[in-house]
Amino acid sequence: MAAYVPTPSPAATAGVPPGAGPAPYDPLFDPLVSPTGLGQDYAPTYWVASAGAPPPDDGPVRADMDVDVAIIGSGFTGLATALALARDHGVQAVVLEANRAAWGCTSRNGGQGQNASGRLYRSQWIARWGLETARRLDAEIREGFEYWKSLVGTIECDAQPGGHLYTAHRAKKMAFLENEARVMREQFGYDTRMLSREELHARYTADREAAGALLEPDGIGVHPLKLAYGYLRQARALGVRVHTASPVQGWDTVGGVHRLRTPGGEVRARRVAVATGGYTPQGLHPALSGRIMPILSNSMVTRVLTPAEREAAGLRSTVFITDTRTLRFYYRLLPDGRMQIGSRSAVSGADARHPRHLNLLREGLARKFPALRDVDIDYSWWGWVDVSHDMMPRIAQPDPSQHIYYACGYGGNGVSFSAAAGRRMAQRLMGQAGAHWDLPIYNSPLPGHVFAPFRRIGQALLYKWYYLRDEVI
């Protein structure tokens, strides 16, 4: 079956009356220029096709309401925040979602759950903040990863444990991986080790590009939408309300009360948590203006491979993999025998459907696994990743005088870290004290950037430089 890529529809962001069913999915949606959607259907991902029917939600907001906590966004972070508030603090939040539950990157990612946060490696943490702070940050991220694992253990989400492989896509990258493995062992106590090309091919995957790999023991591949549906079920069972097709179209604060205007009514909240990630709409709130760089990531999934095809390609493990490109490829063998691969994509939503982006993935798969060059692709999609200007996330209250909080900037590591971020954001909403609040991901807001209005021009130039650095220099 050929990859399904729908055509855009003018109705994709048009008003949808309550009960009219989902609006068409808009493949050209771009958070920097598009209006917020209203009840859009899911992107045509493998995860949507294989997750089963979505759990019930609470439908659109239909009247004005007063609430204690409103959460904007029903992806991993929003649902994890709502779940932690209900389970740990007895607070039943109201979640407002513009489209369908887990509509954004939560249903479009690669399902790679790493013991990581943001885009920086641990050696870069040391260089930026010093060893003591880096060790405390590592302990926080590690605790968060264990928390996420505890949630995964309660939900049927096709979990594939076994760790994570960083493959050196060129021989010159082995020194970088060797240094990172040494830092993780000696400074943070991880059981990381290096694999030669021969050992990688014999035990894990015969990636023809790879000169070797770093094996991290921590890592679980998951079906991300099944996991999100599990969060949704658990949260609603504890009294959380999740209102879909309810975008926040206006936000005023009067007398300490936040007035969130949706098509079906005004939600008046004492506290607001923003969990919109790479889909944060322009103008939602000044505290978020210019703070996130939304980056498109493409993904594709093959048809089910036969045992002979898997053997010919040297696919011997379901451990998920990332290579050392700046514009990295991430890939893995799925539980049903399909191969999934993703990488960075177009600069703008208007260019997202160009065939060259899918061809980039096809060629990437073929370079790594020549036996799969002509295999049919069953699913192809793209989604927006939230990258902060300093490459690290924030779970912050940007203005101490206002009860507004956000968690975002994961840079592609949100599958697992979003659970910890949601738990910490719930604690911040409740004013809970903690020694961890002085860590860099908590003690400052997301940084802005003087050239934020011109970010797309800079991104296009950077992509050209990254290609040269990754493939030529």
How distant, in Å, are the alpha carbons of 221, 384, 388, 416 from that of 391? 23, 15, 5, 17
Dist CA 225 CA 74 (whole Å):
12
Please, what is the Cα angle at 75 between 70 and 76, to 5 degrees?
A: 105
Helices 414-429 and 131-152 sit at what angle, rounded to 10 degrees?
Answer: 100
Nearest to 293 by CA among 461, 443, 78, 456: 456
Quick one: pLDDT at residue 2?
A: 37
Dist CA 364 CA 322 (whole Å):
12
Both tokens of residue 187? 């400074």
The answer to whether residue 28 is domain-embedded is no
Give the domain CATH number at 196: 3.30.9.10
Structural domain of 332:
161-221+294-388
Is the pTM higher than 0.85? The answer reads: yes
Dist CA 232 CA 3 (whole Å):
29
For residue 157, give the 3-state DSSP assignment: coil
Is residue 14 predicted with pLDDT exceeding 80? Answer: no
Do residues 247 and 202 touch, judged by C-beta distance below 8 A? no
Q: What share of the chain in percent tops pLDDT 70?
A: 96
Transcribe 162-202 into DSSP letters.
S-EEEE-SSGGGHHHHHHHHHHHHHHH----EEEEHHHHHH
The answer to whether residue 194 is domain-embedded is yes
Dist CA 175 CA 198 (whole Å):
17
The answer to whether residue 383 is domain-embedded is yes
The answer to whether residue 298 is domain-embedded is yes
Residue 23 DSSP one-character state: B
The answer to whether residue 18 is domain-embedded is no
Question: For residue 15, what pLDDT band results from cuts at 50, 70 and 90?
Answer: very low
Question: Mean pLDDT of all residues in the chain?
Answer: 94
Quick one: pLDDT at residue 157?
A: 98
For the sheet with 320-323, list strands across it: 193-196, 212-216, 164-167, 320-323, 330-333, 339-344, 292-302, 377-388
The answer to whether residue 186 is domain-embedded is yes
pLDDT, tens digit, 9 for 90 and up, residues 223-251: 999 999 999 999 999 999 999 999 999 99
Question: For residue 449, what pLDDT band results from cuts at 50, 70 and 90?
Answer: confident
The answer to whether residue 405 is domain-embedded is no
C-alpha Rg value of the chain to the nearest Å? 21
pLDDT, tens digit, 9 for 90 and up, residues 377-394: 999 999 999 999 999 999
The answer to whether residue 398 is domain-embedded is no
Beta bridge partners of 261: 250, 266
Task: Specify the number of domains making up the chain.
Answer: 1
Is residue 11 predicted with pLDDT exceeding 80? Answer: no
pLDDT, tens digit, 9 for 90 and up, residues 41-85: 999 999 999 999 999 999 999 999 999 999 999 999 999 999 999
Quick one: pLDDT at residue 10?
A: 34
